């Protein structure tokens, strides 16, 4: 049996993610089709036909509503919907991304057909992958890079690629170096402090989702897990 939901209103309200989750599951289970109405804030709403096969007007949409993703070095987002915007006379489909954790990051819009930007939408690590990564910490080689310029470039590369293994290795190296610096009555350089803050935010936010806890609970969890292990 084919069901049809005539209209589904995308208002980007706080309740939308939950409602979208219910509707998405319903669509998959009963092979529904539906029309999503996106309000652009000005003028008439846009009606966009969306199928359970993940297409918008014939455009293949790789990510579905309510998917959780890491968007580059911006953090963890939930895909809130797909909307159409007209910029410079050209209409383009955009993923609407809502941040899972508030870090001063607002709603992000990623063009569906822009492969360079959509490549930055990465799936989150699973709980098993997070635990395996934590378990590997004691065995990681974390040599310290003496040159500040080389470290700065390395930090940029790690954040750009989103390599979690390289990120957690760098975090470990910085914590060890900080301990050595404090023993000498010194502190980390600003470039190191800045990277450490950004890397921990990105990694702990992602770990928190996988481990079903708050970001502030991630570090205590890691320390306890390593002690038990």
Residue-wise pLDDT tens digits, 129-186 = 999 999 999 989 888 999 999 999 999 999 999 999 999 999 999 999 999 999 999 9
pLDDT of residue 4: 35
CATH number assigned to the domain with residue range 127-228, chosen from the 4 options 1.20.58.1290, 3.30.70.100, 3.40.640.10, 1.10.3720.10: 1.20.58.1290
The whole-number average pLDDT for the span 107-136 is 94
DSSP 8-state assignment for residue 91: E
C-beta contacts of 56-59 below 8 A and 24+ residues apart: 56/82, 56/93, 56/112, 57/93, 59/93, 59/112, 59/113
Q: Domain coordinates of the chain in residue numbers?
A: 4-123, 127-228
Token duo for residue 130: 């997070």
Are 74 and 98 within 8 A, CB to CB? no
Flag the least confident range among 14-23, 28-37, 85-94, 124-133: 28-37
In whole angstroms, give the CA distance from residue 74 to residue 93: 21
In whole angstroms, give the CA distance from residue 224 to residue 169: 18
> What band does 22 get if pLDDT is binned at 50, 70 and 90?
very low
* Residue the block writes with tokens 């063009």: 111
Residue-wise pLDDT tens digits, 74-101 = 999 999 999 998 888 889 999 999 999 8
SS3 at position 151:
helix
Are 110 and 118 within 8 A, CB to CB? yes
pTM above 0.75, yes or no: no
The fold of 4-123 is: Thrombin, subunit H (2.40.10)
Q: Where are the alpha helices (DSSP H) in 11-100?
A: 16-30
% of residues, the chain, pLDDT over 90: 59
Q: Which residues contact 175 (CB under 8 A, 6 or more apart)?
A: 196
């Amino acid at each position: 049996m084919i069901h049809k939901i005539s209209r589904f209103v995308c208002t980007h309200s706080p309740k939308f993610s939950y409602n979208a989750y219910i509707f998405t599951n319903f669509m998959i289970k009963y092979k529904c089709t539906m029309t999503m109405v996106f309000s652009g804030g000005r003028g008439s709403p846009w009606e966009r036909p969306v199928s359970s096969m993940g297409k918008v007007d014939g455009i293949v949409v790789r990510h579905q509503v309510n998917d959780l993703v890491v968007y580059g070095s911006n953090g963890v987002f939930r895909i809130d919907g797909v909307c159409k915007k007209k910029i410079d006379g050209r209409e383009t489909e955009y993923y609407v991304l809502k941040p899972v954790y508030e870090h001063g990051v607002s709603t992000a819009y990623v063009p569906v057909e822009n492969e360079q930007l959509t490549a930055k939408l990465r799936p989150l690590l699973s709980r098993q992958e997070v635990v395996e990564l934590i378990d590997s910490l004691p065995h990681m080689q974390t040599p310290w890079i003496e040159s500040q310029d080389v470290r700065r470039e390395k930090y940029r590369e790690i954040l750009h690629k989103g390599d979690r293994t390289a990120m957690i290795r760098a975090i470990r190296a910085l914590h060890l170096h900080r301990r050595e610096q404090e023993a000498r009555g010194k502190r980390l350089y600003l470039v190191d402090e800045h990277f450490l803050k950004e890397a921990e935010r990105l990694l702990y936010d992602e770990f928190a989702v996988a481990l079903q806890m708050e970001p502030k609970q991630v570090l205590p969890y890691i320390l306890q897990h390593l002690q038990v292990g």
